[in-house]
Structures are given as structure tokens and as C-alpha cells.
Amino acid sequence: MSNTKIPVVPSKLIVPFILITFCFALWGFANDITNPLVAAFGRIFNQSQTVSSFTQVAFYGGYCFMAIPAALFIKKYTYKSGILLGLALYAIGGLIFIPAASTGLFWPFLLAFFILTCGLSFLETSANPYILSMGEEATSTQRLNLAQAFNPIGSITGAWVAKEFILAKMNKLSTDERAALPVEKFDAIKMADLQVVKAPYVIIGFVIAIMFVLILIKKMPKSKEADTGKGLDIKGTVNRLLSNIRYKEGVIAQAFYVGAQICVWTYTIQYGTSVFMEQGMIEADATTAAGSYTIYALIIFAISRFVCTFLLKYLTPGSLLMYLALAGIAFCIPVIFVGGTVGLYSLVAISACMSLMFPTIYGIALKGVGDDAKLGAAGLVMAIGGGALLPYLQAYIIDNFNVYVSYILPLICFVVIAIYGYRSYKKYPFKGIA
């Protein structure tokens, strides 16, 4: 029987697949409502981009910190247990925005982001391999790409909420105008803006609580790798993974991919703001207008992911990954060296190239690792820590040079990804699976 005749999702697993797939949208929402807050916190607290970038350090640091504990937890228990704990931490992190907004300080928000993303780490460590296990291995990458295709739907919603309910509702005074205010007036505006930031996170916290209940009461399938009665065998698992060159290179490629994605999307606001201010807009209006381009990028990302999921029926994952990384490099060139409207459009176009990368690298790296997938997934989630480090470095470049030059970092990331795609294509050739 050919791969094309194997169902991507068995009919008896449709409802569990839908529930877990909805979690992909939920963490997409968290990722992309948060990206614009680097710019927002810079205005609210009158601080540099480098300091504000700690928003992303805390956000993606939670992924890195909790990945191994999450993997050990789900290896000892079940994927469902990991997802439930992840949802609980996600909800708690969102609700911590209530006291954080009342303090008027930056660091409580960092704590809230960290706890929230500890939950996302549990979700991703559990949900990605769980989806891979919901059917035949021959269709595992198609299945994961299908589930991941709903992630940008959450991302688009998050970016839209950030634009319409945070950026658009903040006080219109520019950073320089705020800095010139008396302390009492500055603090009053700051506290009002923090209430604006708080509201969406509190609402999503309650939505996550509802999702927790739905998954809790639904009987979920046991994965093929789960509940086999095996011990944790951490040493053996680590040794097997470290001897798997495809897996090791996959972790490196994933770190650079996430770094590229977060750099591209986090600073689209700053890039667009610079472009529109050069055209005569005031800072507040330029920032809101730039938020629209983040949404455009995410829409293109979502469409491209569905297209690439279809193409995986006919192309090897490694080859498509390589071609898209090369296209990403090409689009980075006008972003860096041309700027203006052309650079901004090219920046948006990069998202089409990124759409396939995360799930395909994930699928290639975990192919054939069996029960080691639980701890192996943790390594790939820890690679999300790349998203914590590179935005900080990009912010430093922005503060000391300009936002255009800073996009040299995503270009370097795409070079690494292209190399992994090439090596996967040449060393691990297979069609329709990874």
C-alpha cells in the first residue's frame, strides 16, 4: 500500500486529534500576542529595546528551563497528563497579569511570562510527539504539519488582539514625550497602559481553564510509545539520542529556526515603525500601522503551511526545507540593504519561507526514535531557547546600529537551516515522511 492511501488521521482518533490540535492554536496565540509587547513595554516603561527584549528572554527561557522536566514527567506518566499540567501553568501565568499590572513594575510581567511558557513547554513537549503517534509513521510528518497548520491561526488571532486591543488602546504619547512628563503624570499613563496590556491575558487564562476541563473529561488514546511499562532509562535514552546524528543536527537547526522566527516577528513592529516614521507618521500611529504587517506575515505563514503540507506528499522534507531556507536568505537581503517599503514587503515574505520549518525539522529529527521521542522532544523544545537569546542580541544591534542591520541574524539562521535541509536530503532521503 502506498503512503498516499494511508489516512493521515484514523477516524477513531478524530476528536482527540482536534482537541490536541486546538492546543497548537493556543500556544500560537500566546507567542504572537507577546511579540509586540517588546515595543509596547519600551514605551510604557521608557526603557531601551535591549531591556525590553527580556520579555522574550523570559518567555522563551521558560520553554528551555521546563523542557527536560516536562519530558521526564510525560515519560513517567502520559502525554495527556503533560498536556493538562501545561494548560494549568498557562492559565496561571495569564492570571498573574492581574497582580503584575497593579505593581507598575516590569519584572512581575517577566515572571508571568516565564510561568506561562513553562506551561507551553509542557504543551509542546507533549502535543508534538502525541500527534506524531496518532496514526501510521508513514504519515507522521503530514499529520504534524496538519496540526501545526492551526498554530498560525492562533498566532494571527494573537497578533490581531495585540494590535487592536493593546497597541491601538495605549496612550498615543511617544517615548520622548513620555520621558519629558512629570513623574506623577508618567506613572499615571504607565498604570493605565498596563491595565490595557493585562486584559487579554486574563481572558485567555479563563479560556485555557475551559480547555483544561474539556481534555480532562475526554478519554484520550494511549500512544504507541506510552505506557509500555519500561523504566525511564534516562542514561540509555540520552546515549541513543546523542549517537543519532540526524537528531543532534535537528536540535541545532531547530534552535536557529526558532531564533530566526522570533527575530523576524518580534522586530517587524520596530522595522515597520521606522519605515512609517521616515514617511512622516507619528510614533504611535506608525507602531499601530506596523502591527498590521505582523498580521499579514502570519496570514502568509498560515497559507504557506497548508501549501507545504500538500507538497510533502511529493517532495522530500529535507529538499523542501533547503529550498525554503535559501528563499529566506534571498528575502533577507533587501530587508538589510534596501529598507523602506521594499524591505518591509520582503520582511513579510520571509514568513512564507518559515512556515514548513519547525514541524519538518521536528519530524526529521525524531524519525524512528521510538519511546526515546519523549526525551527527544524535550531536546527539540529546549532548542526553542534559541528564541530567548537571539532577540536579545538583535535588540542590542538595534540600540547601537539600526533595525535594518539587525536582520543579519535571521539570515545567518537560514544558512544553518539550509545546510540541515541539504544534509537531510542527501543523507536521509525519503518521500512523504520524516
pTM for this entry: 0.81
- Residue 218, classed as helix, strand or coil, is coil
Give the C-alpha separation, 236 to 22, whole Å: 34
Look at residue 118 and tell me whether its pLDDT is greater than 90. yes
Give the C-alpha separation, 431 to 3, whole Å: 9
Q: CB under 8 Å to 373, separation ≥6 — which residues? A: 129, 132, 133, 225, 366
Q: Which pLDDT belongs to residue 269?
A: 92
Query: Which among 93, 291, 363 has a CA at the least distance from the CA of 206?
Result: 93
Cβ(361)–Cβ(257) under 8 Å?
A: yes
pLDDT digits (tens, 9 = 90+) for 275-326: 999 999 998 899 989 999 999 999 999 899 888 878 887 888 889 999 999 9
Give the C-alpha separation, 364 to 430, whole Å: 10
Q: Which pLDDT belongs to residue 434?
A: 35
Give the C-alpha separation, 105 to 37, whole Å: 14
Cβ(385)–Cβ(332) under 8 Å?
A: no
Give the C-alpha separation, 133 to 127, whole Å: 10
pLDDT digits (tens, 9 = 90+) for 174-185: 888 998 999 999
Q: Name the CA radius of gyration of the chain, rounded.
A: 21
pLDDT digits (tens, 9 = 90+) for 423-432: 987 765 444 3
- Residue 48, classed as helix, strand or coil, is coil
Q: Is 238 exposed, middle or buried (0-12, 13-18, 19+ CB in 10 A)?
A: middle
Rounded mean pLDDT, 129-157: 81
Query: Which among 384, 389, 390, 386 has a CA at the least distance from the CA of 66?
Result: 384
Higher pLDDT, 198 or 360: 198
Residue 99 one-letter amino acid: P
CA angle 120, 301, 420 (to 5 degrees): 75
Residue 420 one-letter amino acid: Y
Q: Is 235 exposed, middle or buried (0-12, 13-18, 19+ CB in 10 A)?
A: exposed
Give the C-alpha separation, 310 to 142, whole Å: 8
pLDDT digits (tens, 9 = 90+) for 139-149: 777 788 788 77
Look at residue 152 and tell me whether its pLDDT is greater than 50. yes
Rounded mean pLDDT, 192-197: 96
Query: Which among 125, 150, 162, 133 has a CA at the least distance from the CA of 32?
Result: 162
Average pLDDT, the chain: 87
Q: Which of 247-261, 334-348, 360-374 has the highest mean pLDDT?
A: 334-348
Give the C-alpha separation, 152 to 150, whole Å: 6
Rounded mean pLDDT, 14-42: 91
Query: Which grid cell sits at 403?
Result: 533595525
DSSP states along 124-188: HHHHHHHHHHSS-GGGHHHHHHHHHTTHHHHHHHHHHHHIIIIITTS----HHHHHTS-HHHHHH
- Sequence-ordered alpha helix ranges (H) in 35-78: 37-45, 49-52, 54-76
Q: Is 427 exposed, middle or buried (0-12, 13-18, 19+ CB in 10 A)?
A: exposed
Place of cell 539520542: 241
Look at residue 2 and tell me whether its pLDDT is greater than 70. no
